[in-house]
């Protein structure tokens, strides 16, 4: 299993782990959530985004050509449950992934990741969001391709 598949699998486990936790539509209030995902200020298409709440069912969506997303939890575009969320961004798996040794395998295997894997880990992504009722829950998540510069320490 390639590293990309393992990372995507990890995100899927996070998302699916709370599906069977008893939350049913209407039992956890939701609010509409939308926004934009960028890399160094430029919109990214085809990025999976998930809002993972401290309790309850996660919400998910995927960015369009302009980097915009709308989240769904229980139904199409119903938003996210109210409260604090850790935000996860990941590359969706390539459905056309060839098996090892098949034509195209080397190209797929060596494709360059568009952004750091840390963004697919809810503990490392650095992104959080507070979903509030009656508020405009619009968020921008700007990933960076370069690690943050280290600031010199002062004595």
154 within some domain: no
Domain that holds residue 105: 3-143
pLDDT of residue 133: 96
Which tens digit of pLDDT belongs to each residue from 41-94? 999 999 999 999 998 999 999 999 999 999 999 999 999 999 999 999 998 776
152 within some domain: no
Q: Assign residue 48 the CATH number of its domain.
A: 2.60.40.1120
pLDDT of residue 142: 97
Report how far residue 52's alpha carbon sits from residue 154's, in angstroms, rounded to the nearest whole number.
37
Q: What is the pTM for the complete model shown?
A: 0.74
43 within some domain: yes
* Model confidence at 26: pLDDT above 70: no
N- to C-terminal Cα separation, the chain:
47
22 within some domain: yes
148 within some domain: no
pLDDT of residue 7: 54
CA distances from 54 to 63, 83, 145 (A): 23, 8, 28
Report how far residue 43's alpha carbon sits from residue 90's, in angstroms, rounded to the nearest whole number.
14
Between 59 and 113, whose confidence is greater? 59
Q: Per the structure, how many domains does the chain have?
A: 1
* Model confidence at 152: pLDDT above 50: no
Report how far residue 144's alpha carbon sits from residue 155's, in angstroms, rounded to the nearest whole number.
29
Q: Work out the mean pLDDT of the chain and round it to a whole number.
A: 81
pLDDT, average across residues 104-113: 66
pLDDT of residue 13: 42
* Chain centroid to CA 141: 10
* Model confidence at 149: pLDDT above 50: no
Q: Are 97 and 104 in contact (CB under 8 A)?
A: no
pLDDT of residue 112: 75
pLDDT, average across residues 18-24: 48
67 within some domain: yes
In this prediction, residue 110 has a pLDDT band, given cuts at 50, 70 and 90, of: low
29 within some domain: yes
104 within some domain: yes
Between 117 and 153, whose confidence is greater? 117
Q: Are 122 and 90 in contact (CB under 8 A)?
A: no
């Amino acid at each position: 299993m390639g590293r990309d598949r393992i990372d995507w699998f990890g995100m899927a486990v996070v998302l699916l782990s709370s599906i069977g936790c008893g939350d049913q539509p209407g039992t956890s209030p939701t609010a509409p959530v939308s926004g934009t995902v960028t890399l160094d200020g430029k919109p990214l298409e085809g990025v999976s985004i998930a809002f993972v709440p401290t309790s309850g069912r996660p919400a998910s969506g995927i960015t369009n050509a302009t980097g915009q997303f709308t989240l769904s939890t229980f139904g199409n575009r119903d938003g996210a449950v109210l409260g604090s969320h850790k935000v996860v961004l990941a590359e969706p798996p390539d459905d056309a992934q060839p098996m090892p040794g098949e034509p195209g395998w080397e190209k797929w295997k060596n494709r360059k990741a568009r952004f750091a894997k840390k963004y697919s880990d809810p503990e490392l992504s650095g992104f959080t969001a507070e979903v509030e009722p009656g508020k405009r829950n619009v968020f921008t998540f700007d990933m960076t391709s370069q690690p943050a510069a280290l600031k010199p320490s002062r004595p």
